[in-house]
Amino acid sequence: MFKKNLYIFLGLCLFSIMFSFAQSSKQKELENRRLELTREINKINELLDSNKSKQKSQITVIEDLNYKVSVRENLIKVTNQQANLLTREINNNQKEISANREELKVLKDNYASMIRKSYKNKNKSSRVMFLLSSSNFKQAYKRIQYLNQYADYQKKQGENIRTKTEALQKSNQELLKKKEAKNKLIAENKIAQKALEKERKEHEVIMSAIKKDLNKYASQIKEKQREARKIDRAIDKIIRDAIAKSNKSKSKAAASSKGFALTAEAKALAKDFLSNKGKLPWPVEKGIVKVRYGRQPSPIDRTVTINSNGVRISTEKNAKVRAVFAGEVMSIIKQKRSNPTVLIKHGNYITVYKNLGKLSVKQGDKVSTKQEIGEVFTNPATGETVLRFSVYKDNATENPSSWIFKM
């Protein structure tokens, strides 16, 4: 029975430790995410507010606000999750403190009873009489052992009380810290909520002004999409031609392949590129993703769908563009009414950098990871500095956020 109870007790202790560790791990994960979002908001304000002197288009302002609101909502959500987790931890702490107090009370009562009994029997003569009254030597020896064990037990009980008292004090200190942390999170959330309300109101005001002349803005969006599709078609053609050229000397089956025919060196490069998925550096040192990959409704006219085959990164003026991985400059596209686009080949993977101003490379150049390849173009009218970045595997686009570190 004793063994069974011991196993149950040990099992409960193990569960408690594992539960506490899981909560601590989750709290750390949430705190890291909260700090990331806070840094992102600071970065948004730094990048977007640096061009206040410029007359931004209503479309740009709405995009900026949409992004700010989205990040702010995520921050509030994560902070709420942290506060709720802290509430659970505080409740568990309080239960533990109550249990410790009860146990401490029992220990103290037992100890007090022992001390009283010990006090009554502390007289040396009574101890001597207790030993002399033994019927034989064996009994006397056992009584000496009992007196020694009783003294040791008293000492252990005293130590136990001291340990429990220290544990209780520590639990109380942890509880106070957690309550302070929770109050801090609640205060921060109130500030974030006020900022969110302000941004939503600003969004509503601009949107109501836009709705009065929605056709004009919708046509501007469609015109930008037409220009983007024109560049995308040029990129697709360059990639198709390069694939066909790589397969030209191969068999008929290979010649009709949709993928590159790779040399041993190119295969090794592609394998290396793939092994770095999710760890590639950003194509600019500082930036925020304003438009994500894939199909999405326009922030201005929800009936218009934007099909983004890459990401749009807002960055600072004169921002340098960096190759995200070692490779070769496959092509540079220059078209009327659009800024240069650079394609870099990494085996059968291609990274594309659109809307460049100055160029630092030419077709055929070998580049290394983080090597400067140019500078992002800054719109002189709006002050916007936006890099469009895409990733291809053969002739199919992939989500850049899956490749770039913490995008």
Task: Give the tens place of pLDDT for each residue, 307-334.
Answer: 899 999 999 899 999 999 999 999 999 9
Q: What is the pLDDT of residue 329?
A: 98
3-state secondary structure at position 34? helix
- Among 144, 150, 145, CA closest to 127: 144
Kindly state whether residue 288 falls inside one of the protein's structural domains.
yes
92 plus 152 within the same structural domain = yes
Most confident of 5-19, 28-42, 314-328: 314-328
255 plus 144 within the same structural domain = no
Could you tell me the end-to-end alpha-carbon distance of the chain, in angstroms, rounded to an integer? 57
CATH code at position 184 = 1.10.287
Other Cβ atoms less than 10 A from the Cβ of 184: the count is 12
Q: What is the pTM of this model?
A: 0.68
47 plus 147 within the same structural domain = yes
Q: Which domain holds residue 135?
A: 2-211
Kindly state whether residue 326 falls inside one of the protein's structural domains.
yes
309 plus 206 within the same structural domain = no
Kindly state whether residue 41 falls inside one of the protein's structural domains.
yes
Q: Which residues of 81-93 are buried (b: 16+ CB within 10 A; e: fewer)?
A: bbbebbeebbebb
177 plus 267 within the same structural domain = no
Task: Name the phi and psi angles at 34, rounded to 5.
Answer: -65, -45
d(CA 277, CA 269): 13
236 plus 96 within the same structural domain = no
Kindly state whether residue 219 falls inside one of the protein's structural domains.
no
The half-sphere exposure of 329 on its side-chain side, counting CA atoms within 13 A, is 21
Angle subtended by helix axes 137-211 and 58-120, to nearest 10:
160
Contacts of 87 (CB under 8 A, 6+ apart): 182
Q: Looking at the predicted structure, is the pLDDT value of residue 236 above 90?
A: yes
171 plus 271 within the same structural domain = no
Instruction: Indicate the residue among 160, 181, 211 that finishes a domain.
Output: 211
Q: Which residues of 296-308 are buried (b: 16+ CB within 10 A; e: fewer)?
A: eebbbbeeeebeb
Instruction: Indicate the residue among 211, 236, 265 that finishes a domain.
Output: 211
246 plus 161 within the same structural domain = no
d(CA 256, CA 248): 9
Instruction: Indicate the residue among 181, 211, 241 that finishes a domain.
Output: 211
Kindly state whether residue 59 falls inside one of the protein's structural domains.
yes
Q: What is the pLDDT of residue 9?
A: 45
d(CA 186, CA 80): 8
Q: Looking at the predicted structure, is the pLDDT value of residue 175 above 80?
A: no
198 plus 265 within the same structural domain = no
Kindly state whether residue 220 falls inside one of the protein's structural domains.
no
200 plus 241 within the same structural domain = no
Kindly state whether residue 65 falls inside one of the protein's structural domains.
yes
Q: What is the pLDDT of residue 391?
A: 98
Question: How much of the chain is in helix, strand and coil states, percent to nearest 5?
Answer: 60, 15, 25
Kindly state whether residue 18 falls inside one of the protein's structural domains.
yes
d(CA 299, CA 305): 9
206 plus 325 within the same structural domain = no
CATH code at position 296 = 2.70.70.10
Top-confidence residue, 98 or 352: 352
242 plus 206 within the same structural domain = no
Total domains in the chain come to 2
Q: Categorize the per-residue pLDDT at 158 as very low, low, confident or very high, splitting at 50, 70 and 90.
A: low
